[in-house]
Amino acid sequence: MSWFLLLLPLILIVSSILIYRFVGRGEVLHFDIVQFFYAFVFTPMAFVWMKVLLYLLLKNNFANGTSDLNYLMIDSVFSLIFLYIFGFEMLHGLTKTVSLNVSKDPLYDIFHYLEYFHLWMTHLVVFGGGITTITILGLANLFFPLDLTMTKLNFYLILLSGLVVGGLIFMGIWLSDPKQEKGYHFMRIMKALIGILFLIHTIGYFLAQPKLTPDYLVYWWSAISFTIMVMAAFVSYKSNRARNWIERLSDKLKHPGFEFRLQIK
């Protein structure tokens, strides 16, 4: 393990230098292949490596007064700084890809390229990844109950917030639908994913049979949120009245220029 920690940064640096000669040789997910490796392979590996290194550096100090809370704060600050850096790296990868395409074709359609990310990929990853993350946290709570003490009122108020959050998430998905032609079906994919994740919640309930207590707060909050999302997805598909009501509500949230879209080919 120690040798791996020592060698990994060297491997990453050497690999990033060697792969640079392939700039402009191809694309992955509409990113230049080198920028893709930088953003989606090398940087996540470096992040995990530095998180492990930070833990090892602080581990020996736990016995000298470094509490779990202090470690959490240090780790959170480190992660936040790294995420800011990663955000700018993603911007660099995107603009570098645009620059390479323009250098090959001065008439390259930049707006069409950006709309692919704006209308399709980012919406799918953000919402799909977001609700999947909520599911993972909820299922983890089934295996690792929380040690919480709270009043029944606070417990039920938090669960009630799941109803609101579930509705807001579905409304966000509805607003983010690209409504593209030529086979792009964002809402179908999202509704199918919501149904699958709700089914996973249901299976988890029957397997673990959690009690309605604060120990399983995250699971119950997640399950309630998905219940609302499934109900909204179902009624918006089956009921024209419900669909029209959601459309009227979403119209109030749209910003000027919301309807502008370039068709993705």
Averages of pLDDT over runs of 10 residues in the chain (265 residues) are 75 89 88 92 92 81 66 89 93 91 88 81 89 94 88 90 91 81 76 94 93 92 94 80 72 65 61
Whether the CB-CB separation of 173 and 129 falls below 8 Å is answered with: no
3-state secondary structure of 28: strand
pLDDT at site 10: 86
Q: Domain ends where: 108, 125, 147?
A: 108
Which phi and psi angles does 53 have, rounded to 5°? -60, -40
Whether the CB-CB separation of 258 and 174 falls below 8 Å is answered with: no
pLDDT at site 159: 92
pLDDT at site 229: 93
3-state secondary structure of 27: strand
Q: Is the pTM of this model over 0.75?
A: yes
86 and 47 in a single domain? The answer is: yes
167 and 227 in a single domain? The answer is: yes
Amino acid at site 255: H
Amino acid at site 169: I
238 and 131 in a single domain? The answer is: yes
Total tally of structural domains belonging to the chain: 2
64 and 25 in a single domain? The answer is: yes
**Kind plus residue range of the DSSP H or E element containing 88:** helix 68-104
144 and 127 in a single domain? The answer is: yes
Token pair of 263 as six digits: 């068709």
Q: Domain ends where: 80, 108, 136?
A: 108
Whether the CB-CB separation of 184 and 264 falls below 8 Å is answered with: yes
* Structural domain for 75, as ranges: 1-108
173 and 54 in a single domain? The answer is: no
